[in-house]
Chains A and B, each alone.
Chain A
Amino acid sequence: MKSHAQRLIAARLGLALLTLLIVSALVFALTGLLPGDAAQQALGQAATPAQVAALRHQFGLDQPAVQRYAQWLLHAVSGNFGTSLSNNLPVSELIATRLPNSLVLAGLTTLVSVPIALMIGITSAMFRGSLLDRVLNVLTLSTVAVPEFLIATIAVLIFAVKLRWLPALSYLSDVSSFEALLRIYAMPVMTLCCVIIAQMARMTRAAVLDQLNASYVEMAILKGASPMRVVLRHVLPNTIGPIANAVALSLSYLFGGVVIVESIFNYPGLASLMVDAVTNRDMPLVQGCVMVFCVAYLALVLVADLCQIVSNPRLRQR
């Protein structure tokens, strides 16, 4: 990779870091500054002003906002998000317990959804305009719009209630065998996959179509290449970047879907931790969870961007 590409990548990285900084400021403003008095909340209505003032001083809430933000940021970077208000455990510990579960869920979803989505997307594009393409288009269009809890509800109805193949809730402590593991993960992964596959297939199709409409494809046809050869040797090498971009962007939808899925299946992951924290107004925990989500999301979008940059041959060979 020549220096031009390197410079572009460095610029993107710098930009991502800047964005992360602004995000952290936004999150802190929303959770740490605005909600009013955490000290008042902790002590309740019966506290005297003196007690509230003392606790406020102890929490450091009487310092100016920028200073509080700077302190929070410093702690956050080292992984210390304070203590959870609802159960007095360090936030980082709580997150550390739940994070691997969410990662496993996300990983399994990725593993299942990417091959299927790519296949659907590429074949739709290759046979554009055919009946298959139109049917798939309608299916993906509809699936993208369907809320996850509908899919989850239907899945539970069919597989857990009617057919009794799978458990309705995921108790991870019950994992005794690989088969049990599969059965526990089946429905959450399936629910997440539905929307992700639809989204990814649509974006992949668009990326491949974009290349298929390029003029060099007509030239390849006029050289006597068969459609299969045109796609495999001419188009696909040019689509790797855009497809990687599409995959990464689609996977970012996971961050929303996982919130619903973990709740509905009672899956002990990071998202359900965050929902509980929000319900309990447990601000430090909310802060910690949100920052983890944001970093992961930004990282994914950055990967997508980088794929776009690196795949452009004009940048590889300047």
Chain B
Amino acid sequence: MNRPATHSHAATALYAVSENESPQGDPSLQEPLPEVTAKRRGVLQRLVRRFSVLGLLGLVIVVFWLAVAFLGPLVAPYKGGAITSTEIFGSYSAAHPLGTDYLGRDLLSRVLFGTRYTVGLALASAVLASCIGTFFGLLAAVSGRAVDEVLSRLFDAVISIPSKVLALVVVAAFGSSIPILMGVAAFAYIPGAFRISRSLAVNLMTLEYVQVARARGEGLLYIARVEVLPNMIHPMLADFGLRFVFIVLLLSGLSFLGLGVQPPDADWGSLVRENIGGLALGAPAVLMPAIAIATLTVGVNLLIDNLRRRAGRGQGAA
């Protein structure tokens, strides 16, 4: 019969630095407390230490597109729908840095105006998906088995429908208005957020400080809010980024099929769709919006990956 391995002897090397109980007299009174280091380092210095090169690249891209989402229409050279050139599927030029589309409109302006739809819509849906998913995940972990089972079965069922297929079904039923698109994107990815937040919360609930809170007589709301949620935030942020990427891909895929954002509004996916005729000509009008999508999603992925690694290292030493 074994007793479960105690931690202090097994994971020792990692504690080697901080476990400095001095041998004489009362150990804890004499232990020097490291001073809280001055937080006055340069912001740049801190950034460089926290991010690798790729992580910084991701951060730059994300910040860039976020800025464009807000400011894009203000800096666009032409208004979104204005036809400014007689040449359709024009190539790169000084007047039209990204070429012209199938009607002769400046593509750069179209892309800048479309950023609001792609980024804004996806961001809103991702926030909804993450928040609702986290809420239900916490609820499932903190409540009894019955609630947990019911919620898990329901969300398992939703997750069993491939997201694009689910989106298609909803669009078939309800059309493609902006609220519907936001709703279906959130709906398709709530179960994923639910799964992760539930698994995190369930693991946290087994830890002793939650048991102490329960034995103290704390209510479930306090435990969920104070003991469990703050220790879940970091992984859920990384998951939020992932949701965002999936939703961008889903919505632009829908727009590409003609079932997403409807004309005259256009997000990047719709831009690819309407300019698909230029594919045989090799026009930038087809390529550029798709590349824009790719830079956004790849940038977010690089950023999340970097955050995960740093968090993993930090937690490994804890």
Contacts and interface: CB of A to CB of B under 8 A. Distances in A.
B252 A19 contact: no
Contact of A30 (B173, B249, B297): B173
Contacts of A23: 157, 160-161
Interface in A141-178: 141-142, 144-150, 153-154, 156-157, 161-162, 168
A35 B172 CA distance: 8
A2 to B, nearest CB: 24
B55 to A, nearest CB: 11
A146 B246 CA distance: 10
**Secondary structure of the A contact surface, majority rule:** helix
Contacts of B161: 23, 26-27, 290, 293-294, 297
Contacts of A237: none
A148 to B, nearest CB: 7
A290 B294 contact: no
Given A34-B174, A145-B294, A255-B165, A153 B153 contact: no
B172 A283 contact: yes
Interface string B139-176: 00000000000000110111011111100111111100
Interface stretch (B42-50, B84-92, B284-292): B284-292
Contacts of A301: 160
A309 interface: no
Given A34-B174, A147-B297, A154 B160 contact: no
A150 B272 CA distance: 9
Interface string A28-65: 00110011000000000000000000000000000000
Nearest to B272: A149
A20 B48 CA distance: 49
A234 interface: no
B165 A259 contact: yes
Interface residues of B, number: 45
A18 interface: yes
Contacts of B249: 145, 147
Interface residues on A, range: 35 or more
Contact of A150 (B164, B174, B290): B290
B172 A278 contact: yes
Contacts of B172: 31, 35, 277-278, 281, 283, 286
Contact of B162 (A141, A275, A297): A297
B311 interface: no
A141 B252 contact: no
B174 to A, nearest CB: 7
A252 interface: yes
B170 A153 contact: no
Given A150-B294, A156-B279, A286-B172, A255 B162 contact: yes
B302 A274 contact: no
A30 B259 CA distance: 17
A293 B165 contact: yes
A22 interface: yes
Given A156-B279, A290-B165, A18 B253 contact: no
Contacts of A34: 173-174
A263 interface: yes
Interface string A224-261: 00000000000000000000000000001001100110
Interface string B256-287: 11110000000001001000000111100011
Nearest to A295: B160
A95 B66 CA distance: 43
A264 B259 CA distance: 14
Given A141-B305, A147-B297, A148-B253, A31 B168 contact: no
A86 B298 CA distance: 40
Interface in B4-56: 54
A130 to B, nearest CB: 16
Contact of B287 (A19, A154, A274, A283): A154
Interface string A127-147: 000000000011001101111
Interface of B: 54, 153-154, 156-158, 160-165, 168-174, 245, 249, 252-253, 256-259, 269, 272, 279-282, 286-287, 290-291, 293-294, 297-298, 300-302, 305
24 contacts: A19-B160, A23-B161, A30-B173, A31-B172, A34-B173, A142-B301, A144-B301, A145-B245, A145-B249, A145-B297, A147-B269, A149-B253, A153-B272, A252-B162, A255-B162, A259-B164, A260-B164, A260-B253, A278-B171, A283-B172, A286-B172, A290-B169, A294-B161, A294-B162
Given A141-B298, A259-B164, A260-B164, 12 more contacts: A22-B154, A26-B157, A26-B158, A141-B305, A142-B302, A145-B301, A153-B279, A157-B282, A259-B257, A264-B256, A290-B165, A297-B161
Q: Which 5 A-B pairs have the closest CB atoms?
A: A22-B157, A145-B297, A255-B162, A150-B290, A278-B172
